[in-house]
Amino acid sequence: MKLSKSLRTRMQYAVSAAALIAAAPAFADTLTNAPVDEEFTAETFELATSDAVIGPVEAANVPQDATAPAAPPAKTPPAPPPPKPVDLRVVASHFVDVPVVGDARSLARYSGRIDGYLEVRGSYYGGSDNLTIKIRPEYTWDKSSNGEIGLIPGNTALFRPEGAGDFDLSASIEYKWKDGTTLEAGKINVLDISGQLPIVASDGHFGFQNLGLALPPTAVVPNTLTGVALQVPKGKMIYRLWVFDPDSQYQRTGFETGFESGVGFLASAAVRTTVNKLPGVVNLALVGSTRDSFAVDILPRALTPPPQPIGTFGNESGELAIQLSAYQFLKMYPEARGKGWGILARFQASTGDPTFLDYSGYFGISGNPRKRPQDRFGLAYFRYSLTDELVDDIAFRLGIEDEQGVEAFYTYQFAKGFGLTANVQVVDSAIAFRDTGVTVGGRLTTEF
């Protein structure tokens, strides 16, 4: 049933009010001097699945496993070295994948991606160390099996707008206050933010490969955006506010579109949680835009609806979606600080037209095996649904249903900076006439 525009507007305001009311009780007081069993840093759950080391407070609170070998007494680690005036990191991945079950040809495909992360602090040129310039080049080559089975890309690293080239460059400026508050402005690659999600920690090079898990689609936030991002940590809370151009800025400077499609926003409140003294986080977010039509630059061409008045999708204005996500460690290893495993879950629902996804979500587990804590593993289920108006508009040429799938991976870290990942994806495609497909692949990642 199609709702009137006025009624949809009232529902949007109601959803906004309900979400804000739900988040309000979590606005806790600052807990900088909280008791030992309640305090842990943002880095604990944002980076604990990488090579980061948690602090002495977190280590002291990891429960001892009676079956595990006794760990030596925890020692206070030395103070971290001051940040480098210039920091450069490069990550490159080579991919090989092949569909083995389903309608797609069993053809092995090779592809790759390399990313550079350059940060220049103000002290390098005589300015404030609080200011950091970020330069972010990326380059991809050849083709993966994206689009061969499911609508949603199975290789996040090779995801880009249709017809776009292989090279892009992002640049931004970040200012950080003493209390940890940061304000970043410029062109920002959303993959970098997704890679910091606790437990998941997937950015195309590491962790899950399917876009439904590594960079969960919203159909509101583009893969590369131009705007400002504010993050404010306060005790057990982390608040975020983004304001951005809703058009994808891939291979653009950020000035070409100039907010011509409207203004996008994201507002979220995350609360740090503890289960059996182990860290986690629950996040509630509202995301939307003032755009008057659907995201033409993100929607695959095969799904483009006929123009109005023949088609009905895209005749509404304004987008609004609500997201709820949770990430919780269930085990951390005293003998391997910062390592463990936990659960991940996320759900998003939108008001539909002009957003082409009305809901999406996932749940699963990920982390490090105890016998080889330098390795990583993950198993998760995802599902998403296209908006009914869009499905109806294109039904005459393409039958569409919900898409769902399962992904499993294991990364064998055979040397420092070198990891070999085996990946399996089982996808029940949104394209109705396609059979369920299975893709297997390998990924060799080098970081230096």
pLDDT at 74: 53
pLDDT at 60: 36
pLDDT under 50: residue ranges of the chain: 1-64, 66
Structurally, how many domains does the chain consist of? 1
* Domain boundaries, position 10: 5-73+82-88+113-403
Q: Looking at the domain assignment, is residue 410 inside a domain?
A: no
* Residue in this structure with the two tokens 């860290």, named with its chain if needed: 279
Q: Looking at the domain assignment, is residue 388 inside a domain?
A: yes
Q: Looking at the domain assignment, is residue 93 inside a domain?
A: no
Q: Looking at the domain assignment, is residue 409 inside a domain?
A: no
> At 351, phi and psi to the nearest 5?
-80, 5
Q: Looking at the domain assignment, is residue 259 inside a domain?
A: yes
Q: Looking at the domain assignment, is residue 417 inside a domain?
A: no
Distance (Å, whole) CA 42 – CA 238:
8
pLDDT at 394: 94
CATH code of 42's domain: 2.40.160
Q: Looking at the domain assignment, is residue 437 inside a domain?
A: no
Q: Looking at the domain assignment, is residue 428 inside a domain?
A: no
